Amino acid sequence: MMTSNQTKRLVIVSNRVATPKKKSASAGGLAVGILAALEEHGGVWFGWNGNLTSSSEPGAPQVVKKGNIEYATISLNEDDYEHYYNGYSNRVLWPVCHYLLDFIQYDSANFDGYRRVNAQFARKLASLLKPDDIIWVHDYHLIPLAAELRDAGIENPIGFFLHVPFPCYEAFRAVPGHEYLLRALCAYDVIGFHTHRDLAAFESCIREPIVGAEIDDDHVIRMPGGSLVADVFPIGVDVEGIAALSREAAELKRVKKMVKSLGGRNLIIGVDRLDYSKGLMQRFLSFERLLQRYPNAQKNVTLMQIAPPTRTGVRTYDEIRAELEQVSGRINGRFSTTDWVPIRYLNKGVARQPLMGMFRNAKVGLVTPIRDGMNLVAKEYVAAQDPDDPGVLVLSSLAGAACELTEAIIVNPHDRDNVADGIAAALNMPLEERKERNAALVKTLRKNDITAWRTRFVDALLRKS
C-alpha cells in the first residue's frame, strides 16, 4: 500500500542539470541515484543549464518534462558564475574541504557572488514549489540555499548532502565567511555526509559558540527555533549494473585492442579528474619508486592514468597539467625501452562502458587521492572485477571509501615507499586471497549501493515532513 509520504514530490537541486537524454550506459553513480529517486517519487530536478548570459537576473526556469520528472533549469550571468563557481566555490570551499589551505584564494567579490547566485536559485526555485514537496540540495555550491528559501517563507522539509569531505573546525575557521556558512547549514532539516569522520568534523564546528546548538546521542542538533538531523549516508554504485557492463565491455573492440597492446603485461589503472586533491603527482612518483625498489616490475607492468581536464583556464589546474606531463615524460624517459613505456597518461576522458572493461582487465586499481569525500572510482573498480580472477584495489587511507573498503590494500598517498609496496603486494597476491578480498568488498558494495544511499536519505527527509 502506498503511504502519504510516498506521494510527496521530490525536488532535487544541484549546481548543474544536464538536458534529459535517453538512458545510456554512460550514466554515472550520482546521476543514477538522483534519477532513480525522482522516478520513484516523481518530481523536479532544478539547477543551472550550462548557459551564460549578460542579463543580471536569470529568466523564469525552463521546464522540460520526461515521464514523471520535470527538468527545470536557469541560465546564469557570466560574472556571477565566475564569482560563484570558479571563485568562492572552487577557490575557497573546495580547498578548505580537502584540507588544502594553501590553495585558498579569497576575494570578497567572489563571496558576494556566491551569496547572490544562491539567492537567485532560491527565488527561481520558490516559484516551482508545492506545499507537500520535499527538497534535496546537493553539494558545497549551494550551502546557503535553505537559508535563502526560509527567508522567502518556504517551510518545506529541506535536506543537504555534501559530496566532498567536511573540514574540522580548525580548518573551517580559516574560511572568510565560515560563521555565515555554518548558520546557513543549520537552516536544513537533514544533513548527510559520506563518513563518520566528516560527521565528527561537522559536529566539531557545531560545538563552537556560533549557532548556540547542542548535539544529542542520535546526532540530532538542537538550537533555538528548531533542530536538524546530521548523519552518515555513504554513497554507493549500481553493483549489478557495473558488473554486467564490464562483462559486456570485455568484448568491445577498443578494450580488446588495449589488452593486446599490453603484450601480456599487468595493467595498473588510475582514473581521476585533473585536480590537485587527487594526488596524481604523488602517484606518479610512487610508481617511479615501485620501478626502483622492484626491478622485476620493469617491463612487466604498465600504469594507465586517465585524467580528463577540469576547470580549464584556471591557473592552478593548468599548472597541475603541465607538471604531470613533465614528470610522466621524465619517468618514461628514464625507464622506457624500445618495446615498453611504463606510463600511459591520457589527458582526456574514456566512455563509461569501455572504461568498465578496462577496469575488469586491470590487475591493480590505483586510487590514491590526498583527500576525497568518497571516491566512486574505487567502488566501480571493485564492482567491475571478474570474481574468478579479480584485480586488487590499492586505496588511499584519506579517501572516504577507505572507511568501508577495508579489504583493499590501504596506503598513505604521501608515503612513496608505502604506495610502492602496496602495488607490489597487489601484483603478487595469490589468487585465493584476491578472490576472498574481492568477495568481501563486493558484499560491502551491495549493502551500501546507490539505491540504499538515496533511499536512506530520502526516508530521513520524509520523517521530517
Q: For residue 2, what pLDDT is reported?
A: 37
Does the pLDDT of residue 352 top 70, yes or no?
Answer: yes
Of 80, 189, 275, 372, the catalytic one is 372
Supply the pLDDT for residue 23: 47
Secondary structure (DSSP) of 275-337: -GGG-HHHHHHHHHHHHHH-GGGTTTEEEEEE----STT-HHHHHHHHHHHHHHHHHHHHH-B
pLDDT at 6 over 70: no
- Stretch 281-304: mean pLDDT, rounded? 97
* 417 close to 423: Cβ distance less than 8 angstroms: no
In this structure, what is the dihedral angle of CA atoms 159, 402, 375, 139, given to the nearest 10 degrees? 20
**Cα-only R_g, the chain:** 23
Q: In whole angstroms, give the CA distance from residue 396 to residue 278.
A: 10
CA-CA distance, 266 to 449, in Å (whole number)? 29
pLDDT in tens, 293-320: 999 999 999 999 999 887 655 567 788 8
**What value does the mean pLDDT take over residues 240-249?**
96
pLDDT digits (tens, 9 = 90+) for 55-68: 888 889 999 999 99
Give yes or no for residue 27 having a pLDDT over 60: no
| Nearest C-alpha neighbor of 131 from the set 6, 11, 1, 2 | 11
Average pLDDT, the chain: 93
**pLDDT value for 4:** 47
Q: Helix (H, G, I), strand (E, B), or coil: what is residue 342?
A: coil
Residue 372 appears among annotated catalytic residues = yes
Query: Does 389 qualify as catalytic in the annotation?
Result: no
Domains of the chain: 5-236+450-462 (3.40.50.2000), 239-447 (3.40.50.2000)
Residue 8 is predicted with a pLDDT of 87
Contacts of 412 (CB under 8 A, 6+ apart): 396, 397, 398, 418, 419
Residue 383, pLDDT > 90, answer: yes
196 has a pLDDT exceeding 80:
yes
Torsion of CA 150, 151, 154, 158, to 10 degrees: -20
pLDDT digits (tens, 9 = 90+) for 142-193: 999 999 999 999 999 999 999 999 999 999 999 999 999 999 999 999 999 9
Q: What is the pLDDT of residues 115-148, one digit of tens each?
A: 999 999 999 999 999 999 999 999 999 999 999 9
Q: Are 137 and 158 in contact (CB under 8 A)?
A: yes
Q: What's the average model confidence in pLDDT over 248-275?
A: 96
Q: What is the pLDDT of residue 311?
A: 64
What confidence score (pLDDT) does residue 30 get?
Answer: 72
Residue 463 confidence (pLDDT) above 50: yes
pTM of the model: 0.94
Quote the cell numbers at residue 236: 554507493
Q: Is the pLDDT of residue 5 over 70?
A: no
Helix axes 376-383, 239-249, angle to 10 degrees: 60
Instruction: Please report which confidence band the pLDDT of residue 21 belongs to, taking 50, 70 and 90 as the band edges.
Output: low
Query: Which of the four pLDDT bands, split at 50, 70 and 90, describes residue 1?
Result: very low
Span 198-225, mean pLDDT? 92
The active-site residue, picked from 138, 163, 178, 194, is 163
Task: Say if residue 98's pLDDT is above 80.
Answer: yes
The pLDDT of residue 416: 98
pLDDT for residue 140: 98
* Residue 243: pLDDT over 80: yes
Q: Does the pLDDT value for residue 24 go beyond 60? A: no
Contacts of 332 by beta carbon, 8 Å cutoff, 6+ apart: 341, 342, 343
The pLDDT, as a whole number, for residue 113 is 97
